[in-house]
Amino acid sequence: MQFKDNVVLVTGGAAGIGKATALRFAEEGAKVVICDVDETTGHDTLKLLGSQASFHKVNVTSRQDVQKWIDIVMESHGRIDVLVNNAGILRDGQLVKFKEGQLVGQMSEADFDLVIAVNLKGVFNCTQAVVPAMIKQGGGAILNATSVVGLDGNFGQTNYVATKSGVIGMTKVWARELGRYNIRVNAVAPGFTATEMVKAMPEKVLDGMKARTPLGRLGEPRDIANAYLFLASAEASFITGTVLRVDGGIVVGT
């Protein structure tokens, strides 16, 4: 119960890694507050989190939505100990696609802008809204979801990789800016992880992912949640500005 009475916020907490992270902190006694745009799944997850938890429908791309959420949390709990910036989306596509010397497709501007808005601006919005409360209370931990592709790149993911690389950069900047306030900022870079979305992929694709991972399996959402738990804990009190790969040893693209 190392997080007993701590207030832990998880964005995109309705499903996947966010859900596993929320459950893991709840197991350790935290008062978990999740947000998501998926209201139905969010309430389903809330039922698993215990009586101290709460769910809020929040669009992290909206500064007004985010600020309203944080104001409600502060009114209810009076503090925020941990923020896990987990919310993210995919809209994959090649920069340009040529066939027989002709341009036949390209990543749309709308898909580029939407992924930037959720995965990058959303992290900025939530962190900027939470930090004043953490400063006033004397510290906290901010944990950002990046990805191994943010370090290695990946075919067909210009928008997603740009956001995940950007999150790494913001993590390092904020670690420098906020360390004086006893706020630690770190990022976790998952590899291929068996979320609901990934498990729905064809068996052949899943086998390929496992074959490219030296440990020979996909990560479980709980593997990533355990990394967040460690980085938020007292055991990681001298760790800030780092990117922790939780990827089974994979190097994307090889």
Would residue 160 show up in a list of annotated catalytic residues for this protein? yes
Q: What is the DSSP string of the chain?
A: -TTTT-EEEEETTTSHHHHHHHHHHHHTT-EEEEEES-HHHHHHHHHHH-TT-EEEE--TT-HHHHHHHHHHHHHHHS---EEEE-------B-SEEEETTEEEEE--HHHHHHHHIIIIIHHHHHHHHHHHHHHHHT-EEEEEE--HHHHH--TTBHHHHHHHHHHHHHHHHHHHHHGGGTEEEEEEEE-SB--HHHHTS-HHHHHHHHHTSTTSSPBPHHHHHHHHHHHHSGGGTT--S-EEEESTT--TT-
Q: Which of 3, 55, 112, 160 is catalytic?
A: 160
List, by residue number, the catalytic residues.
160
